[in-house]
A and B are shown apart, each in its own frame.
Chain A
């Protein structure tokens, strides 16, 4: 079997979907751009190999292949059973052809791939257990994402998320081909990240141990990059920044007015500069998120020093740099206005794509269309993609998996699959999404049942596939 074009993280995991759950039909999530299959079945051989001429200097491909073997539980296969199959029915390996040697990960890289699984030379009779079969061969899949920005926001300020938890979330993102981790690092409640230029900033962490060193941050970026995921860091200013003043109280307008940051003080901008400069050594994504949300300036008017700045601030909106990407969150209809004015946009409208809104159902996640009411093709191109947001007020290491999944997967398909292949009625994909949820469970991701509100418990005993 072979793979051509593109960088290969994506297709290896697609490959996983093709088997294990043979029977009813193969369930792939998100749905590929085009896929055709047959009626035969092959089995994965002992010692399944990776064949490639790719230089793989950082071992990204071979590491991904090892992860693949673990996920398909290759070690579980009972070796003796394989010999019962005719050799033409046994898949000995996967050949991966990668056309570009460039391993730089940036927005808009080519994530397309073609996956083919051959037909056996002859008919076979029915199988025995304890082998890994690849049903419905031959397969030809040609795939690429609709949007290049397919994100998940995590919030490590409201609750500290341990390193292992963040890595686990990154792994789970790869299973549904999400490719941007928007790391909302800092907020009102805590400042957990080490900033070498201003080392007292992380005194605003909840405690001495609920912190990320710069090595931790680099580790996260590297872990994500090796899985084809960009990390978008956010330093939310001038609101949502109370925690900065724990280490540097002069950033607060006054003792009684601690948010937003003191706009009249040059020091404020020096600190922001320092942070961004430190960021540039850690985060390689060409975007950085500067927040700017929910800025309640009322206490600026009460703080004499700042009052004079108000007019400048009010004018700000008209002077947004053309390079800015606007991140929509408040509601529907904003994306439309943004691209009409020529700016790029990322969609996260809170009525449909906020994961902490437990009453938003997976169907609503699925049906939320980033290009709603945007018909002009030039403007459509300005929509980079979208992002589901996992705000952390009530999320910590104990419940993050089940709040993210499976609803984020519904959005993941909306962002990957071509518009015409998406279901017009979400109910028709329930079976396939339920399969995907059970696949996540099999891989140790605590994805919640489909039925009920976000992160609900299963109501009663039953099969994973029916809940």
Chain B
């Protein structure tokens, strides 16, 4: 975490000065830590920043044979054991130096931290919105005086323990001098929990198919920043890649027969995410953004030449939605289900004779028909025991008719969540001006400074803001570039959603956040996540020239 001894940093800084690199912004050129050493001692290089923590100035060594000791009702958990194995692989990426060599140099072979104890109080592994993700993490030397020796994580649920494991993995650094893993600035005492229960990333697998392995890589990277909801926008206008057993022709709308997800693939993704404490919220966007449905069932289009929105006049349309949702209920246990409802252009309803007739027969304007469609779809979801989430147009157009259980998903701009919560609706913040990842011109500062509670002062209304979500729309993002578009800006939002508001909203973020985000970005690349340079003007651009990861 912290750079090595001053001597090494000094040498590096000499080189930097002679090569004309610019030192980090707020530090003097003569500060030995100002050069391209990774760190400034006054900052804490954990991302996202924990709620409460204290540290010291000791350096502890970590045993490469680190073992797990479990405790508590929930300690005996496969999820926990699997997570420990994963994190051990992450922490010990480098081979240690040869032991014999160490002995010759007189290095100690006794490690300060040989055991990681994890205590989980509850044995429930139910993963639902608002599950307790809090944890405490102690890392201290085992000596006569300290109450706790070694490293301990304590949490109420296994998912809190997972969050603790991630933080612990960020405390462990490979030290090139001793060729061993160390924890700097010990002892650590961390008490942590998220500000918001819903911290999401939207993935769009309709504009471009994303292979299952790529989705899994993305889920792994989410866990590094403690994001906890994968909003899977599976289907849209361009392609329908998901298998629907009740209506097996639907996935004829996939781009090709290889660009598809079987139900086993979908279940695999949900299970992979659960092992990392991540919910998967599926979205079936209706009635707009649904042209691809008609490839398998052309009747669902108003007409072959007018294909969007879905035909509101037919019961068949709702039979299909019902069948689709029933099939998905077997795969997606998360209590929230997204029904879309955005950008509905009802021209095709008016221009197609039989639909127009239906509107007249039922005495509905197109706007009312839109409302009818959304509400009928919501009823189906509710009957399956889901809580519907809808894009904000539904709230903006017919708030008074919207089912009160609805969660309003803001995206069009600022100022929507305040209105929604004032009317008693829960809200998810995704203001496109700041949190759309496909907007390549929004820099990390834009993501970092966005505030989901903006404009909401009433405490009980604030509680109705579930959290927020960054959106990775797929028009120009596919496997080749999706991760560099997501990272590192999603991490900026991740800290906004996790960390204590006061801690991250004061001060000059160029000094308090930028160096830490650069450090986290380098950590991501070390873990094989293709995170783009932080200080680039545009997202997913290459580095502008040679240089250290910590300065780009």
Contact = CB atoms under 8 A, between A and B. Distances in A.
A163 B480 contact: no
A159 B549 contact: yes
B95 A203 contact: no
Contact of B550 (A207, A216, A464): A207
Nearest to A75: B268
Contacts of B324: none
Interface stretch (A45-53, A91-99, A392-400, A423-431): A392-400
Interface stretch (A54-62, A296-304, A378-386, A451-459): A451-459
B262 A446 contact: no
B530 A209 contact: no
Contacts of B207: 461
Most buried by A among B14, B214, B480: B480
Interface stretch (B131-139, B250-258, B342-350, B499-507): B250-258
Contacts of B549: 159-160, 206-207, 210, 396-397
Most buried by B among A402, A448, A461: A461
Given A129-B262, A394-B545, A398-B533, A457 B525 contact: no
Interface stretch (B50-58, B116-124, B172-180, B429-437): B172-180
Contacts of A164: 93, 526-528
A218 B211 CA distance: 32
Interface string A418-441: 000000000000000000001001
Nearest to A463: B255
Contacts of A403: 542
Contact of A207 (B37, B208, B530): B37
A446 B480 contact: yes
Nearest to A194: B176
B211 A163 contact: no
Given A130-B262, A449-B480, A458 B542 contact: no
Contacts of B552: 396
B209 interface: yes
Contact of A396 (B97, B262, B475, B533): B533
A443 interface: yes
Contact of B476 (A204, A458, A464): A458
Nearest to A157: B546
B36 A206 contact: yes
B71 interface: no
A463 B483 contact: no
Contacts, number: 211
Nearest to B548: A206
A398 B3 contact: no
Given A206-B549, A441-B211, A464-B478, A446 B525 contact: no
B259 A463 contact: yes
A333 interface: no
A219 B92 CA distance: 13
B548 A461 contact: no
B208 A461 contact: yes
A387 to B, nearest CB: 21
B102 to A, nearest CB: 13
Interface stretch (B4-12, B193-201, B315-323, B378-386): B4-12
Contact of B176 (A208, A392, A459): A208
B376 interface: no
Nearest to B97: A215
A403 B542 CA distance: 10
Interface in B454-507: 474-484
A399 B536 CA distance: 13
A450 to B, nearest CB: 11
Given A394-B542, A402-B481, A446-B483, A460 B259 contact: no
Contact of B12 (A208, A438, A463): A208
Contact of B548 (A207, A394, A465): A207
A38 interface: no
Given A398-B530, A441-B479, A461-B238, A210 B548 contact: yes
B264 A76 contact: yes
A464 B480 CA distance: 10
Most buried by B among A78, A218, A443, A457: A457
Contact of A208 (B4, B258, B484, B545): B4
Contacts of A206: 36, 547-550
Nearest to B177: A208
B544 interface: yes
Nearest to B176: A211
By secondary structure, the B interface counts as loop
B72 to A, nearest CB: 32
Nearest to B481: A457
Nearest to B173: A209
Contacts of A243: 15
A25 B459 CA distance: 63
B440 to A, nearest CB: 9
B543 interface: yes
B36 A401 contact: no
B96 interface: yes
B217 interface: yes
By secondary structure, the A interface counts as loop
A292 interface: no
A208 B528 contact: no
Contact of A78 (B179, B264, B540): B264
A207 B483 CA distance: 25
A207 B525 contact: no
B543 A444 contact: no
A447 interface: yes
Contact of B3 (A208, A213, A460): A208
Interface in B3-56: 3-4, 8-9, 11-12, 14-15, 18-19, 36-38
Nearest to B265: A76
Nearest to B476: A457
Contacts of A165: 525, 528
A447 B530 contact: no
B97 A444 contact: no
B378 to A, nearest CB: 28
Interface in B201-247: 206-209, 211, 213-214, 217, 238-239
A397 B11 CA distance: 26
A446 B208 CA distance: 13
Contacts of B11: 200, 203, 246-247
Contacts of B532: 398-399
Given A129-B262, A213-B176, A458-B480, A398 B38 contact: no
A394 B540 CA distance: 12
A360 interface: no
A213 B15 CA distance: 20
A444 B217 contact: yes
B357 to A, nearest CB: 34
A394 B96 CA distance: 31
A454 B479 CA distance: 15
Contact of A447 (B14, B206, B480, B542): B480
B81 interface: no
Given A164-B526, A215-B97, A216-B94, A457 B37 contact: no
Most buried by B among A23, A194, A258, A402: A402
Contacts of A441: 211, 214, 478-480
Interface string B176-194: 1101000000000000000
Nearest to B542: A394
11 contacts: A158-B546, A203-B15, A209-B173, A213-B94, A215-B95, A216-B94, A393-B546, A394-B543, A394-B545, A461-B208, A464-B259
Give the 8 A-B CB pairs with smallest separation, nearest first.
A463-B255, A206-B548, A397-B525, A461-B207, A158-B546, A441-B479, A164-B528, A215-B95
Interface of A: 20-21, 23, 76, 78, 129-130, 157-160, 162-165, 168, 189-190, 194, 200, 203-211, 213, 215-216, 218-219, 242-243, 246-247, 258, 392-399, 401-403, 438, 441-444, 446-449, 455, 457-467
Given A207-B38, A399-B532, 12 more contacts: A163-B94, A165-B528, A209-B38, A215-B179, A394-B542, A396-B542, A397-B526, A444-B211, A447-B479, A449-B478, A455-B480, A463-B255
